[in-house]
Structure 1
Amino acid sequence: MNDGNPIAEVVARMQQRLDELPEEFAHRRFFLETYRRTTQAVGQAIDQARFEDPDWVEVWDVKFAELYLQAHDGVLVARPWRLAFDAPDQLPALGHVLLGINAHVNYDLPQALLAVISDDDFLEPALMDRRRRDHERIDGVLSERVAAEDGELAATGPRSLLDHVLTPLNRIASQRFLRESRQKVWHNTVELQRARVAGSYEKRLGELEVLSAAKVADLLRPGQVLLRLAVTGFGVTLPPV
């Protein structure tokens, strides 16, 4: 029973997708399972009063998850998600997870934030500071999951000796790109809000879609992805107008 808990309900919807996942979409399981566990972790952090405005974080986190579920269900599949979903089946589990995280954070997260922050809210500096701090607190929750998720991925199949040697560096890189991408997400949210006020939101969202898709395409290049991203960055940045 979810007892009306919105986070628990969206986690149950993710589990339903996992239970009903068609064989041709089996490679989507890696990101979906990771996302289900991290969403549960955010719900636990809300229960532990780790946010200044837990009610707002709860609504925001559900909005965020719904954008992924829409893409997964084929309701609205933007180019970053098309690239992530169409990645080769033989890609390692970590690769599929990174593709999903990248598409979801770079493209979906600014939209989720704008769904729960009104234009009037942007005029209140104290409120926006609280929103930004809660946005940044998510990093702590996700960083705590890095080692556990690495263990979950290790259980999906054998790893090379190089992968074992690089695991500590990969964890450091993961935490670094979480912080870096979240800072860029906040910048992009502000840029999209300005566009919303100016009546050019769809145009700017289209620009974000192009940038996000390009970053997903970069992840599809061969090589040690996490190490490369530690240098080049994980996020994307909308240029000013």
Structure 2
Amino acid sequence: MPSQLELLTAREEEVRKLVEWLGNKTNGFEDPKLVLIGGYALRAYIPFSRATRDCDFVLEKGEPWHIDTIKRLLPRGMSISSEEKRGDYAFLRCLKIFRVGRLEAKISLDFMESKVISRTTNQEVLINQQFLDASAQAAIPIGAASVQVYVPTYTDYLLLKIVSARASDVRDIATLVWKNGIPTDLETRAAKLRLSPEVVKKDLRNIIAPALEDRRFLHSWRGMFITKDFTEETKEEVLRQLRQLMG
């Protein structure tokens, strides 16, 4: 029976192989333009990483749909587990099941076309040409090597996390703000991505700040990133910066 570390290592290696394959098939993530978001992109902004099974990409709306192009590129061993097209939005989840010893493991590549829709707040972030043009390549460590992929600007990435607002996102937001602070262009950038600055502040006030204030937060924060670098003082400093933004 493989250990948790062996299982995690095997997942990371499978994800890296898939990301490298995707880069080769899309001319270095250029055709169509793909930008990495989610837990793997987090590694571009902080010195820690956390375990995640999903590798998430966003694309601008294509004519025809870009996700149809992705489906035609899928390698052997990957299947489509979920697909949705609704108005100008599309979502595709591609699943790979593989074995680690006697255990069965799963990883997925998720693609969101035209916008990102939060399952927590139901808010939307527009993925337009400006979002793609502002992205830059970064070396993302995955498994035993790094892969050059496009990631959003820090401001855009933080906005995606605030809108998503799941428990793991709150811990990510705390780490991002601890390491990088609050970007000065957050409110103006939110408007350009069709996000109301007031709605962003509402998410911070009603979801993110209360989660940070919970006495159990520090333990879960340290546990997710496997570090003791975070302290009560660290948490309070993050909250101070977020409260300034909330006004």
Larger helix share, 1 or 2: 1
Normalising by the smaller structure, the TM-score range is: 0.3 to 0.5
Q: TM-score, normalised by structure 1?
A: 0.33
Q: TM-score, normalised by structure 2?
A: 0.32
